[in-house]
Structure 1
Amino acid sequence: MNLVACMLVGNEVELVDAAIQNAFRHGVDAFVIVETASSDGTTDILRAYADDPRFDISFLSHDEVYSKNFINPAQVWADIVACAKSRFDADWILRMDADEFIMTRSGSLKDLCAGCEDDAFSLERFNVLVPPSCVDLAAAAKDYETLSQLQVMACPFPNKTVMLKQNESIPLILTMVGGKTLCRAEVLHGFSPGGHAGMNISSETLKAKKTGEAWIVHFWFTTEDRFLRKCQFIVDITQTVRTTQKGGWQWNRWGSIADESVESAKDEFKKQLIDQHRLEILSQQGRIARADQAFDTSVEHSDAITQMHILQLGWGN
């Protein structure tokens, strides 16, 4: 059985190498990667893998990424999936990002694939909480034991209830993010925007069951520098890629914030730093857990409880 991971990478110098090694640890056999003209050193890291037979890496030029002739993202993913099948004879394909780290209860992803009778299953993602101190999250990600002990938002606030578009005081890091799907290669043609679901040749979504045996530790926010690079990228592609995608309102919002000023973008990042007092409240609410225990935590989901928890944290008044 061949398990292939597919990535579209841009400006992830702090995390990309550790994410690749983490995926190998969990049974991934090969990678198909498209690199989007990074300016932070990501390109150099990936070039070190260029002669490794386990990798197929394409390096897009600056004009391919930033000009109005940029390839439609849906086509990019269709090409990546096709490459995984032809180059590595993939049986299963995982769509992942460089800020995503796999964790399992036992065994590997290949073990889960072998026992799966469906065409796809989904891995839930849990956001790593950014500490208010100067902890080096990138370094922590490289060590599996340290990674497993990081605090994650195990019971995030549901976006619909929180109504983030209207209440921007609530940090996004505390809210739900979509999972990622592991799909049987023979029925997979591409991925939906954001990569949260696999699509068949008829552009129909592959039904995917959630599994509690594996999940993703998500480094959505890490350092101010990385966040500023992401914001600038959004600004730079506003007239190209963003014009073809209707979703991702938070990305559009960050682009607008970065357009306003660098200081505004810095303030947005600082909002994601959860102070010790609020960490203690989140712990009392049962919403945070160690990364390796994320699936062992649960909170009753109701609008009343959610609003009470938000008020306890000092938001939503």
Structure 2
Amino acid sequence: MDFRHLGRSGLMVSEISYGNWLTHGSQVEEDAAVACVHAALDEGVTTFDTADAYAETRAEDVLGRALKGQRREGLEIFTKVFWPTAPGRNDRGLSRKHIMESIEGSLRRLRTDYVDLYQAHRFDVETPLEETLRAFDDLVRQGKVLYVGVSEWRADEIARALKIADEMGLDRIVSNQPQYSMLWRVIEEEVVPLSEREGLGQIVWSPIAQGVLTGKYLPGQAPPAGSRAVDEAGGSRFIKGLLKDDVLTRVQDLKPIAAELGLTMAQLAVAWVLQNPNVSSAIVGASRPEQVRDNVKASGVKLDADVLRRIDDVLGPVVVRDPAKTVSPSKRP
């Protein structure tokens, strides 16, 4: 396993992270979830990403149990706050009240005294940004959070947060967690250039495009039984736009490239996002340990300029680049 700095911070993370958005606490039994976490550990993964809202807080609980007994100093545990976790009006958003209460719940479920990275899961238009950043800064001072980051924020939102932190003398955000893959390149236009200038690293989710880049979805055919494309709980609403014959046909055309490199399609997809120097880590999930062992083999893979050009030539017409085509914040994972 190779490691990278999280942005310009001193924190090192495994370039493959293990995430449990769609699995732990909902899709798979706990024994299988624990087996996946242990497979990740066996393969050298030290970075684990979750959120309080995943599976209505159950994902954090499962991850905490799965990591029990591991040397805490050797792990980087990330979680997030924003989405509702209870019915109260203050059980959501980025108010000081919700942040301060949510971190306590996350620490309890994760069975740890601190998290390495605490992320604003979305931008909160109803709370002053100064209030949110001050609350995060206070958690850093209390030792409950080591670093702060954001998830799926636009470039202008990130820039505002950095400006306010500098003016108020608060801890700066060090990372952003966006969707990024060969097919979804929205961050390349504005978020990545800003992040490179300001020292943020990307922790990217869905590098395999919800499984589309594995090649298992075939043009003109119904999705395989049990796949995410037919399971709303498994995130099917996020891949419907990719399940078009022109997209699926071009994904099939990547198979010869992967084969020439001795990679699976999934490994090629993960390796591709890691070629971007602004990516600190790529999050992979799994419902079976063998999926973890397969995906982590993308660590350390170098794709030369010719391979990257061939991929662009194959996928060019179906790549999403325009930020205006992103789903609304209320519909993001």
TM-score (norm 1): 0.34
Q: Which has the higher helix share?
A: 2
Q: Which has the higher strand share?
A: 1
TM-score (norm 2): 0.33
